[in-house]
Chain A
Amino acid sequence: MAETATTAQAGSGETRRDFLYLAAGAMGAVGAASAVWPLIASMNPSAEVLALASTEVDLAPVAEGQRITVTWRGNPVFIDHRTPAQIEQANAVALDELPDPEADEARVVKPEWLVMIGVCTHLGCVPLGQKTGQSRGEYGGWFCPCHGSHYDTSGRIRKGPAPTNLPVPPYEFTADTTIVIG
């Protein structure tokens, strides 16, 4: 009787102890992770940073062929009132010539208004081409001076180290010549 009890206890005691170790360890890990999560998440953009997430722009004063820069979430946004020639140039490109294939109509709401985030997709510099007299690169769009990326009249990467096209932010026309970005 005593013998049986001891054996049983010894046998089951081992497994019971293993189970307790595992369960306590797992519980501790879950607890530690859930305690650390708020600390890590606190470094993500805060509510008031997120609240600044939309910008209204009046496009009426922007003449054809003119480019303006506005700020959205701290980043420059390029708005280009494109000429028919520039639109045609953007449409004339075969998609398989592009490093990041994307049709021009997929990048615009109205073809004459090109709206993009003016941050080079390579390492975050602001490309040139917004002001008169600045280099527009080999494709008549934008040129990033940091590491030599060339963008075309649709803001698509054509040459240089940038991996993707200049991103198009979410925006909509609230009136004929007014957009809200974000």
Chain B
Amino acid sequence: MSGFQSNNGVIRWIEHRMPIFSFLDHSVGSEYPSPKNLSYLWNFGSLAGITLVIMIATGILLAMQYTAHVDHAFESVERIMRDVNYGWLIRYIHMNGASFFFIVVYIHIFRGLYYGSYKAPRELLWMLGVVILLLMMATAFMGYVLPWGQMSFWGAKVITNLFSAIPFFGETIVVWLWGGFTVDNPTLNRFFALHYLLPFVIVGVVILHIWALHRFGSNNPVGIDTKGPQDKIPFHPYYTVKDAFGLGVFLVFFAAVVFYIPNYMGHADNYIPANPLSTPAHIVPEWYFLPFYAILRAITFDIGIPFTGVVIIEAKLGGVIAMFGAIAVLFILPWLDRSPVRSGRFRPIFRIFFVLLFIDAIVLGYAGSQPAEGLWLAIAQVSTAYYFAYFLIILPLLSVFETPKPLPTSISEPVLRGGGGTLAGAPAKPMEKA
């Protein structure tokens, strides 16, 4: 706490009684040293944080205008769009903010996957991130139900029905979740309550996530540990300004969507009021759930003992297990990938499989938007198999069989070599045990 100085008497007065300014300085200021080689891919953590704040701010304003009742919800959203001052703007920011939140977080996750940010000593940091992802998914799902359009209603019905796949207690659990015998007013009310609550739970876990991050600091594109002060620069002003620039670029894209194509990522069917007696021809979740939806629908077969007809896991339950398993596998990822080399830059074979995983996720997303039959079903099944194989088979095997490229001796070395070639002759250390 020695580094903090201020000429302002008020700040000094507060700091003496509650050292919040030095705390902030150590968290995101000049006293927080960060690796000096962070690329723009490291912007997405702070972008996610800012998006969360945007979502909470617009969400609170929307909640002041919204009515959580089956008879009024749809109309109250239309009222926000037509009558409330700037209601259209706030709702479009909130609606598309959800999509951008997922875009940012998915990039953040893939960055972590490529540069091995989940590896020791950052396992807990990674797992807290997976918790945040799960909370985000729950929040987004419940938020999508609130406008009470056709997709809201039927999306809610299909997803809550997944819990009926649980053996023995399934039906009881679903009735408890609904508070009735179908998705109805009690369901809408509790979803609204939880949709308001969960973002603040996310804030709490984000604080833990940042706490765990600051224990060892950011990973970096080279993936080796910083060796000392010469490898680091203060977070402020270097990364605050870089994050601010990234935010500007992000807001350009965000504004373009909000102002010009606000409904591009939505479904026209959700502008039809919910009708419990008529299912839309084609139910699809929001785009950010599509890969998981594809995995859910890819399990079309019962799993049992071959040739006996004994079914252990019915197709419906199998799909649900696979879908949740797709997230659960991320929790144990730090122990599946045992390679001591973090960054994919030095792992030539890993790199190929990683690119395939990225393509695989996009293919799964597209398959999820298509009817689950014929060719798209087959593609979804192959892609689901690859998704799990990547984590459960390929990474553990690569940890043993892959020979990584030699690692640089410090994070400065590759930078200086690229810039002036002054250290071109420096011997590369063969491999470092993390």
Contacts and interface: CB of A to CB of B under 8 A. Distances in A.
Interface of A: 40, 43-46, 49, 69, 71, 73-76, 119, 122-126, 144-148, 161, 163
A144 to B, nearest CB: 8
B184 A44 contact: no
A181 to B, nearest CB: 12
B372 interface: yes
**What 8 pairs between A and B have smallest CB-CB spacing?**
A73-B181, A124-B161, A74-B182, A125-B279, A123-B158, A123-B161, A124-B157, A126-B279
A144 B180 CA distance: 23
Contacts of A76: 276-277
A150 B162 CA distance: 20
Interface string B173-187: 001111111101010
Contact of A126 (B190, B277, B300, B372): B277
Interface string B112-155: 00000000000000000000000000000000000000000010
B179 to A, nearest CB: 6
Given A74-B276, A146-B279, A163-B314, A45 B180 contact: yes
A74 B158 contact: no
B84 interface: no
Nearest to B277: A76
Contacts of B276: 71, 74-76, 126
A122 B162 CA distance: 9
Given A44-B176, A122-B161, 19 more contacts: A45-B180, A46-B186, A71-B277, A73-B180, A75-B276, A119-B182, A123-B157, A123-B158, A123-B161, A123-B162, A124-B182, A125-B157, A144-B279, A145-B279, A146-B158, A147-B372, A161-B315, A161-B316, A163-B315
B7 interface: no
B201 to A, nearest CB: 17
A53 B314 CA distance: 31
Contacts of B1: none
Given A125-B279, A146-B283, A147-B297, A43 B181 contact: no
Nearest to B316: A163
Interface in B343-384: 372-373
Contact of A49 (B160, B180, B316): B180
A144 B373 CA distance: 14
- Per DSSP, are chain A's interface residues mostly helix, strand or loop, or mixed? loop
Interface centre among A46, A124, A147 (most CB of B within 10 A): A124
B166 to A, nearest CB: 13
A163 to B, nearest CB: 6
B278 interface: yes
B281 interface: yes
A163 B161 CA distance: 13
A95 to B, nearest CB: 16
B372 A46 contact: no
Nearest to A71: B277
30 contacts: A40-B176, A43-B176, A44-B175, A44-B176, A45-B178, A45-B180, A45-B186, A49-B186, A73-B180, A73-B181, A73-B182, A74-B180, A75-B182, A75-B276, A122-B316, A123-B157, A123-B161, A124-B157, A124-B182, A125-B154, A125-B157, A125-B283, A144-B279, A145-B281, A146-B279, A147-B372, A148-B373, A161-B315, A161-B316, A163-B314
A7 to B, nearest CB: 47
Nearest to A130: B277
A90 B190 CA distance: 42
A45 B26 CA distance: 50
A46 B186 CA distance: 9
Contacts of A46: 179, 186
A69 B275 CA distance: 13
Contacts of A163: 314-316
A163 B301 CA distance: 11
A17 B175 CA distance: 44
Contacts of B176: 40, 43-44
Given A43-B176, A123-B162, A145-B281, A75 B181 contact: yes
A114 to B, nearest CB: 18
A125 B158 contact: yes
Contacts of A43: 176-177, 179, 190
